[in-house]
Structure 1
Amino acid sequence: MTSSQPLRRTFTKGVGEGAAGIALATGSHGPATAESTDGAIPLNAGGRSEKGGDRGLRLHRFDQWTGNTTPVRQISDEFDWGFVHIDGKGRLFYCTDGADRGTGRFPKGGGCRVFTYRGDPADGCLTEFGRRNSFGSNPTMVWVDPTGDYVTCFIHTTPGLFCRPERLADGGYRIVPQSAGVSLVLFPRDRDGKLADPLHNVTYPLGDMPSFLHSCVWEPRGRYFVVADKGKCKLYTYTVDHAAKALKPLAHLDLPTGTAPRQLRFHPGKAWLFLNHESANKVIAVHADEHGNMATINEVGPCPRRGRAGFRPAATSRSRA
């Protein structure tokens, strides 16, 4: 299993009583952390204060036979865990801190951070290995590229966005955002897996809505990644240009306004991508070719009270470079 196929189990923020991420570090390389003879395995759980929980990172023991979880110790109470990407080969955990720490002014590099932890193979405990400012507010995901040389950070939004009111023809008003924050940040990794200063970032034109990048997934063969933009209702494909040490855009796919595309998953063996939405009760199937071009295949809505949901062809929609 390569770094582009992380050994992870992730719960979205707000699960349970403020729990934001849970990582069971086991996989095809064998356990990334120790497993006891009684079937208990280490479980590292992160909390997020946004949903009323306690922020920080805690080590537990998870009993595979009974499903019981026992607290062991608190590793950190410093950050609001948002997402974890586990590089199984290096036993490194890359975690997003989704809460701004600025007081009165936006600090250099942004108020949020990306933490790197190393897993102890003996007891499963995580030890901080490094940290970097995210250069954008509320990072939602971090992902190691298939070569292991880079980590891309995906930014949801910037708080305190400057806006202006705009008068409508019917006499009403709409609020128009006035500034765009950084959406994508490319970090290099050294041989030990530590993040260095960012090499490249991407900011999208503001338009009527800012970009709210929420999720990303690498194409199974590692040729490019797809990212969902909840704000602009688009999918983007990118690859890493190793010669230029920069992110290279490939194509984008427009989706219906207001649907807020959220989570992405590739079929493991075919050129199919599946997408759900935050503001639309449907799942869309997308064809993605070897060059990153995308086209919608069909969509399915909620199941009716009787029988199965019916698939219907979606309006023709193709990506544009």
Structure 2
Amino acid sequence: MAGVRLQDVADHAGVSVKTVSNVIRNHPYVSDGVRARVRAAITELGYRPNALGRQLATGRTGLLALAFADVRLPYFSELANLVAVTAASSGTGYRVLLEETTGTLDGERAVVNASEAGLVDGMLFQPAVMSSREIAERHGDLPIVLLGEGAAPLTVDRVMIDNIAAATAATTHVARLGRTRIAFLGHETSQLTETSRQRIVGYQQGLEQANLLPDPALLIPTPETGVLSASLAVGAALDSGLRFDGLVCRDDLAAIGAIRAFNERRISSPDDVAIVGWDNISFAATTYPSLTTIAPDTVSLARIALEMLVERIEGYDGMGRHRLAPFDLVVRESAPSAE
């Protein structure tokens, strides 16, 4: 029945609106008989509490925000799906709203300010530019869990993978294939993000573990994230005379762009250049060659982040908890296992 109100349920069950609200909120001080009568009325009339009514009755909207820079990036769109599925199957009844910040300071501030205004009960947030201090100052009473590698306030929860260890694993894997000139592709051309910084640190550690000297000439930046940008950057580097036999990429899109540049120049992977990507996006297994890649355990990441966020919403007020989700190196054709 369309347009069923709380008052309609109360009239049908012969109780007050307050009693109906108490039943919806699972208030303990309602008799079993009254509770059964109200639930029967809700079912019979097809009543569904709207977000505003639920907020008035419980102080909560039943909505969570997931905020990140760019919904077009496959990693984030796949993570968003995982978060929504995990929330729906968790038994908490939460639904997830996506917020795109465009990776700008104004966009990130707007998301935090709007969320704090009572539109959602809590937020999962992967900041790209907002500082740790500003996050601590701006989020106020809004329960928040940060995702990713950016600096996190001591009072805020955060979930990430160990990017340094993962980049070290990717680099040593390539070195075990006998490659001695291993490049790194995909970091920013100007100021490094924390993500890029950690991955380059891990890349350097991997070189040192393999007794290879780091060479700044083998750091190939890209002006923006994406396949075309990476392809042009790698192509320009090769055309200028740079030579390398291994390549660790900041993300899978950069790796796919590198493969395109190699194909255009008849450079074979893995024979000429072994390539490792990052993120294990869904089509990494279908490229040619299929892509060896760092695979963050995004299922665990989504679960841990949602569990901590719900705990914050339900009243946990301790210091920030910083958790690591696992990762794996998925070995495919672009950098096969050493024989």
The verdict on a shared fold, with TM-score over 0.5 as the criterion, is no
Q: Between Structure 1 and Structure 2, whose CA radius of gyration is higher?
A: 2
- TM-score computed with the length of structure 2 as normaliser: 0.28
- TM-score computed with the length of structure 1 as normaliser: 0.29
Which structure shows the higher helix fraction? 2
If asked which structure has higher relative contact order (CA below 8 Å, sep 6+), I would say 2
